[in-house]
Amino acid sequence: MSNCEGCPSAGTCGKSAETCGVTNNPNNKIKRIIAVMSGKGGVGKSSITALLAKAMQAKGLKVGVLDADITGPSIPRLFGLENEKAYGDGEKQIFPVIDKDGIKTMSINYLIEEENTPVIWRGPIIQSAIQQFYSDVLWEELDVLFIDMPPGTGDVALTVMQTLPVSGVVMVSTPQPMVSMIVSKAINMLRQMDIPVLGVIENMSYITCPDCGKKINLYESNVEQFVQENHVPLLAELPFNNGISRLNDEDNMDQEDIEAIREWILPVADLLA
């Protein structure tokens, strides 16, 4: 089949079948692809990806998560799947690993022997792996496929944005001037590539006093100025919360944390759905 046949961005992405670089799997029907990105590492991007996927699944949508952070994969652990492996059918087709809620996931950690084994690959091999995670994995019918991006605006970001039919990008930032500057670079890169920025989530924005419930800013936040200067909507401001760091162990999370996380993330899912 041609690259464009069955692609959700056929006729709108500006690429021809010859220049796309990705062969679409005829068994896959993916309606939307949303990348979660930040120019800076350590901002909680993978956790936000997992939260958005869980929120979308809770709304009744069919959801998948592609872990594009080949050298620092987090998705298996965040979904409690760190001991799982992915298998193929012998016909160049890989089955995704599915969590207890039915979310389909794919990560390089499902294909290596030990979770802590480093992936020491050069850029072209990493780019090829990501393209295969899209085209060779049996995602089947999905309402949304989230792509957990690695930090930065390098080869992997270019590969995803130039070869996959990305519908839009959610940017994740934290309230620090250095992070905001680097995230602005990523937003400007996306604009140059005509990729829509769906909005910004500011993570670790504040803490809540356990006694009085007052919001306490640990940093001087300039998020309103940031979104105005970059002409992007602010989707949410999320606090420091211990529950977010324990997403892989939901069975042992405090119910209060679970309810708080739902309160923060479900409105964002409504905006993106």
SS3 letters for 125-186?
A: HHHHHHHHHHHCECCCEECEEEEECCCCCCHHHHHHHHHCCCCEEEEEECCCHHHHHHHHHH
Task: Tell me what pLDDT residue 273 has.
Answer: 82
- Is residue 20 in a domain? no
Return the H-helix or E-strand segment holding 46: helix 45-58
The predicted-structure confidence for 37-46, as pLDDT tens digits, reads as follows: 998 888 999 9
Tokens for 249, please give them.
């162990």
- Is residue 241 in some structural domain? yes
pLDDT of 210 = 82
Provide the terminal-to-terminal Cα distance of the chain, rounded to the nearest Å: 30
- Write out the residue range of the structural domain in which residue 115 sits: 26-272
Tell whether 182 is covered by a domain: yes
pLDDT the model gives residue 106: 98
Segment among 79-83, 146-150, 208-212 with least mean pLDDT:
208-212
Q: What is the mean pLDDT of the chain?
A: 87
Rg (CA), the chain: 18
Residue 1: pLDDT band by 50, 70, 90 thresholds?
A: very low
**Residue 185 belongs to domain with CATH number:** 3.40.50.300
Banded model confidence at residue 251, pLDDT cuts 50, 70, 90? low
Burial 68-78 (b: 16+ CB within 10 A, else e): bbbeebbbbbb
Is residue 15 in some structural domain?
no
Question: Using 50, 70 and 90 to split pLDDT, how confident is the model at 248?
Answer: low
The number of beta carbons lying within 10 Å of the beta carbon of residue 146 is 27
Residues recorded for the chain? 273
Q: Is residue 10 included in any domain, yes or no?
A: no
pLDDT in tens, 9-49: 444 444 444 444 466 789 999 999 999 999 888 899 999 99
Does residue 124 register a pLDDT over 60?
yes
Please answer whether residues 168 and 34 qualify as being in contact, where contact means their C-beta atoms are separated by less than 8 angstroms. yes
Instruction: Determine the average pLDDT of the residues in 153-171.
Output: 93
Q: Of residues 145 and 244, which shows the higher confidence score?
A: 145
In a domain, residue 130? The reply is: yes
The answer to whether 103 and 91 have CB atoms below 8 angstroms apart is no
Residue 109 domain-assigned (yes or no): yes
For the chain, what is the domain count? 1
Is the residue at 91 inside a domain?
Answer: yes
Comparing CA positions, the residue from 21, 24, 19 lying closest to residue 4 is 24
* H/E segment holding residue 67: strand 63-67
